[in-house]
Amino acid sequence: MAEVREGVDALDRELVALLERRFGYMRAAAGIKDSRDAVRDEARKASVIAAARAHAQARSLPDAVIADIWERLVEGSIAFELDEWDRLHA
C-alpha cells in the first residue's frame, strides 16, 4: 500500500505542475484579450468539458466525474483569468 500511496503522491505533484502550466496559459490569455467580457466564453467552456468527457469515456474512466472535475477546473481558470485581466488592465 505504501508504494501505491507514494505513486499517487508523485502523480499529484505532476498534476499540480501541469495545472501551473495551464494557469500560465490563462495568464497569457488575460494579457491578449482586449475586454474583460471576452474572458468568459461559454461555448469554449462547453467544448473543453465535452472533450474531457470524451477522453475519459475512451479510457473507460467515469466520464461524469471527469466532467465535474473539468467544470470546476474551467470555472477556477475563468476566475483566475478575470483576476489576471483586472491586474493587467488596471
As a CATH number, domain 2-88 is 1.20.59.10
As a whole-number percent, the residues of the chain with pLDDT over 70 amount to 100
- If you average pLDDT over every residue of the chain, what do you get? 97
- In DSSP notation, 13-38 reads HHHHHHHHHHHHHHHHHHHH-SSGGG
Residue 5 has what pLDDT? Answer: 97
User: Amino acid letter at 47?
Assistant: S
Residue 52 has what pLDDT? Answer: 98
- In DSSP notation, 51-86 reads HHHHHHHHTT--HHHHHHHHHHHHHHHHHHHHHHHH
CA neighbours within 13 Å on the CB side: how many for 2?
A: 0
Ranges under pLDDT 70 in the chain = none
The domain spans of the chain are 2-88
